[in-house]
Amino acid sequence: MEILSFFVEAIMKKITIRKADYRRKKRNFFDKAHDGNAPIQKSSAEEPEWMEEPILEEPAEIVVPDQEVRHTDLLETDEPVRTRRPNLSFLWLLLGLLLGIVLMSIFSMLFMKQRAEPAPAAASKTEHAIQLAKDDVVSIINTKKVSNLLDSSAVISPEKLGIGSGVIYKVTGKSAYIITNYHVINDAQVIEVTMTNHDKQIAKVVGSDKWADIAVLRIPKGKIKDSITFADSDAVVIGEPAIAIGSPLSPSFAGSVSQGIISGKNRSVPVDLDGDGSYDWEADVLQTDAAINPGNSGGALINDDGKLIGINTLKISIDNVEGINFAVPANEVKEIAGILEDKGEIKRPSLGVLLEDLSDLQIDAVRAQIALPDAVNKGVVITGFEDSSVAEAAGLMTKDVITKIDDTPVESLSQFRNLLYYGKKSGDNAVITYYRQGQQKTVQLKLK
């Protein structure tokens, strides 16, 4: 500010011209009555050189006062007779410079702030897929009412039997339908469903099928607006992205997401449904390395378009094995869910027999009892019959070893059921090949 004041004072300072510093040639002034057109006569006396008017490189701007100035006043007074107008251009230049510096500082700070806080990146395809599907995945708690042993009429708090996940796949005017695993809701007396907005509803079982491990639940629609979209699971490609959504371990982890790829298609995986240590079924499933944990069962396996490609159902949990998990393909889920909605169960063809896997028995003892040929080491052994058994009516007996259905070899109990349940329908004819007392026989029967 002191520098600025100095420049302003220097510009505004008056310039005083004294007679000692100013010399000009004398002129003859005429009388007021003189004719103004008469020529001006020079003085006959020669003027000295020191009185010549100096040559200025830049003529100063002279301000003439409004009042009349007499020649004698110029020569005899020390008072200023002319001044320089204040030159404001330098002041404006200085102010402009200061303003420019301020603006540059502001723009620089804004630019640095933008660099320090970059704009958020657009959502990836995976993030978009999760956003599309996450609200369609719910938590399911399987509970059982526990009676008070001291008072049979009293009921205490329900006991949690299991925790799993489910997928909203259909919404009507009043209801929402949920797919989950059969083993998630098996033996439940009360099924509680929790949505992503924390609303809770008590669900009703519409239908279930333990062999496919699929169940359909129904809850009031409430605030539910939409449902998940099915993909064509037959078109799934090995190596494509797979995203698992569910509630591992507990509802506290609801909406957990894990990502992997499709590791395999059309896998036939043996499953022990009753926990007796023997395989009861061969599930046709998709294999993925997306992490699946207890509580993920019944949850969604989606692609990077947010569409359902499978229902997470099981994993291989043994030492030194990681990332081998399975899901029921979406096409099978959709077909089974439609049947369960309509009929409540899936009517599967039956022989009306009780069976044991030959490989689970002491094969040497079996050979000794029924004279089974050494070449026969795979099949199923009839151990009993159900009421109104079509197999018993057709002449089959206990200890008979079934080795074929039509022309397809039977290598295990789970495969036998798979061939029967997926290859046949109730009312179909089937040719059964079996061994009795060392002899191979065949019989044709009509499936119940």
Q: Give the residue numbers marked as catalytic.
A: 183, 213, 297
Long-range CB pairs of 374-380 (<8 Å, 24+ gap) are: 376/401, 376/403, 376/435, 378/403, 378/409, 378/410, 378/411, 378/412, 379/403, 379/410, 379/411, 379/435, 380/355, 380/356, 380/410, 380/412, 380/413, 380/416
Measure Cα distances from 387 to 219, 351, 390 in Å. Answer: 37, 11, 9
What's the CA gap between 406 and 431, in Å, rounded? Answer: 5
DSSP per residue, 137-175: EEEEEEEEEEE-SS-TT-EEEEEEEEEEEEEEEEE-SSE
Question: Which run of H or of E encompasses 267?
Answer: strand 256-271
Measure Cα distances from 224 to 11, 158, 169, 184, 427 in Å. Answer: 80, 27, 11, 22, 41
User: Phi/psi at 138 (nearest 5 deg)?
Assistant: -120, 165
Residues in the chain: 448
Other CB atoms within a 10 A radius of the CB of residue 209 amount to 19
Question: Which run of H or of E encompasses 302?
Answer: strand 300-302
Classify the C-alpha dihedral 292-295-299-300 as positive or negative. negative
> Which token pair is 23?
């010399």
Residue 252 buriedness (CB in 10 A; 0-12 / 13-18 / 19+): exposed
Chain position carrying tokens 């079509």 = 390
> Which token pair is 361?
């028995």
Q: Cβ contacts of residue 34 below 8 Å, gap of 6+?
A: none
Whether 136 and 225 have beta carbons less than 8 Å apart is answered as: no
Whether 396 and 432 have beta carbons less than 8 Å apart is answered as: yes
At 337, the amino acid letter reads: A
